[in-house]
Structure 1
């Protein structure tokens, strides 16, 4: 298990003098979730299944920022369609053969494993109740026997989700706890909720090389400063020089997505036919109200030797 020198405290009732963030655990088994609410009303909900953030409300709790399918499984029966699924240790379909991840399912096992809630922590300033951090852990001992058989390596993951008044930070810490090195990929598959995909664009990727999965995984260079979505989009933008990608709605910036130690970003929208073909995507026209801008390390592989640690993540800023 990962050695945590500063393990977060257990759940504590806020003091009467300075009301702090409220953190609650509800449900049972694979359907358990952790909810955190700031005194100002902003909130997040995180399922222990997959450590999947399924709700993030800003603007005093009035504005939902994440898209969640009406048919999303939130009972632990399958990976969640929507929110922020955690993709590890492989992105997309695994290599067909000859790689340690080849026997794993698409997107790996992290999003379909039950994580441990490690606790909460808040600002060291007792008078500052403007943020709360929730930590979740997944270790070799916590994954299914099938996953252990497919990927028999010793690892530790700590996933930190920090809610602030106008932002959400999600960071993964990956540690090699075994004797042999291993390779992995990592992605935060964030589904953003938007009003109208035809009035939405993505900025901050001009000049970046990308792999277009809709066009037979061919390589291209982005020539648009604002990427409009007019059909199915499934692109992996590689080695992005700038840290921030912006989602724009009706000519106004809606979200800033700031990468931290992650070089790649996937832009995805299934559009009409693919949305209809996914059994857990609902409503069928839900593609009009979502866009995925997914930060990660998916172009090639990250390698960790014994005892080494990788950390990376994102800070999403709501610009309403």
Structure 2
């Protein structure tokens, strides 16, 4: 683990996992190159801002016009929307967690899991400030473990504990910006036949009719009671993202398309073509914690070759 600072002086954590070494001989010299998978996470928002495979290819989208300075959330990576998704009440859009400075937790409470072998990880902690308590008067501890496996899989585990004297409710989403070749060449499998709330029609409820989700215009939907595994297939890059989730029943699918992209100051006019947000989330039904209770949510992202998405993918999507 390496801790660095960006140009605003905000700390960032870089984690790398070796996936193999290769050597070649030239001019009587032995040249060794180490292939690594890696990710970067900023303490501004506890936000994963980069996830790269062993070939050095960036798997997350970040806008060329992204603003990397608080209190503005960065357009790209994986912002965490908490304690709300969307805009309601006195809280800012998507809550305050993505705009706060998190701390590195050196000695976190034990997390019961059997999949830590071969992983590197960092533990972050967010507690409410006095200003947070003025607009959302609930005391909490938000612990976030971000891990990278030897195979390059990215895992994010959130634990939110109520240390309040009374119960409170919240919504949450991992607002994941995936990097794609061209949005018109992408489809999502695993959400067929599900009901969804359409944010472009005042959250009116519809049922998905397509065999897969494809994109020809703006999409902003919350798919309800979604399976624990879905796939995002990028035909041009011959790449598939496998998204696994736990404790997060909903999935948000969003692409702003041309008209809205041009209205967004922190997104290039044509950058909607290279991005797709697919969020593991809990939105339709808020999560309620009584005093002392803790909630856990999990997101795991994997990248596989599109050749995987035949019988193997059908089998994976069938086990939900």
Q: Deviations over 1:193-220 (max 9, x none)?
A: 0001111011100111001112332211
Distance 2:69 2:107 in 1: 23
**Equivalent of 1:68 in 40, 62, 72:** 62
Distance 2:275 2:189 in 1: 16
Matched residues, number: 280
Q: Which runs of 5+ in 2 are unaligned?
A: 20-35, 109-115, 306-320
**TM-score, reference length from structure 2:** 0.83
Q: Deviations over 1:108-164 (max 9, x none)?
A: 11000000011499xxxxxx9842111110012xx3x43220111110000111112
Q: How much has 1:30 moved relative to structure 2?
A: 5.9
**Equivalent of 1:149 in 124, 128, 134:** 134
Structure 1 counterpart of 2:46:
51
Q: How much has 1:24 moved relative to structure 2?
A: 2.7
Structure 1 counterpart of 2:16:
37
Structure 1 counterpart of 2:93:
106
Distance 1:56 1:177 in 2: 33
Structure 2 counterpart of 1:14:
none
> What SS class does the counterpart of residue 319 from structure 1 fall into?
strand
- CA RMSD in angstroms comes to 1.9
Distance 2:211 2:239 in 1: 14
Q: Deviations over 1:150-202 (max 9, x none)?
A: 11111000011111223101111000001110000010000000001111011
Distance 2:38 2:239 in 1: 22
Q: Cα distance 1:275–1:120, how it changes in 2: closer, same or farther (>3 A)?
A: farther
> What SS class does the counterpart of residue 50 from structure 1 fall into?
coil
Q: How much has 1:299 moved relative to structure 2?
A: 0.7
Q: How much has 1:225 moved relative to structure 2?
A: 2.2
> What SS class does the counterpart of residue 39 from structure 1 fall into?
strand
**Equivalent of 2:290 in 305, 309, 312:** 305
Q: How much has 1:248 moved relative to structure 2?
A: 0.8
Does the 8 Å contact 1:24/1:36 carry over to 2? no
Does the alignment pair 1:117 with 2:104?
A: yes
Q: Deviations over 1:59-91 (max 9, x none)?
A: x15111000011212233411111000000011
Q: Cα distance 1:61–1:157, how it changes in 2: closer, same or farther (>3 A)?
A: farther
> What SS class does the counterpart of residue 312 from structure 1 fall into?
strand
Q: Deviations over 1:17-45 (max 9, x none)?
A: xxxxx433334876221111123311111
Structure 1 counterpart of 2:262:
276
Aligned pairs for 1:1-320 within 5 A: 22-27=1-6, 31-40=10-19, 41-58=36-53, 60-94=54-88, 102-119=89-106, 130-140=118-128, 143=129, 145-164=130-149, 165-240=151-226, 242-250=227-235, 252=238, 254-281=240-267, 283-320=268-305
**TM-score, reference length from structure 1:** 0.83
The 10-residue stretch of structure 1 (213-222 or 40-49) with the greater mean CA deviation from structure 2: 213-222
Distance 2:83 2:71 in 1: 20
The 10-residue stretch of structure 1 (284-293 or 220-229) with the greater mean CA deviation from structure 2: 220-229
Distance 2:117 2:247 in 1: 28
Q: Cα distance 1:294–1:276, how it changes in 2: closer, same or farther (>3 A)?
A: same
Distance 2:217 2:302 in 1: 26
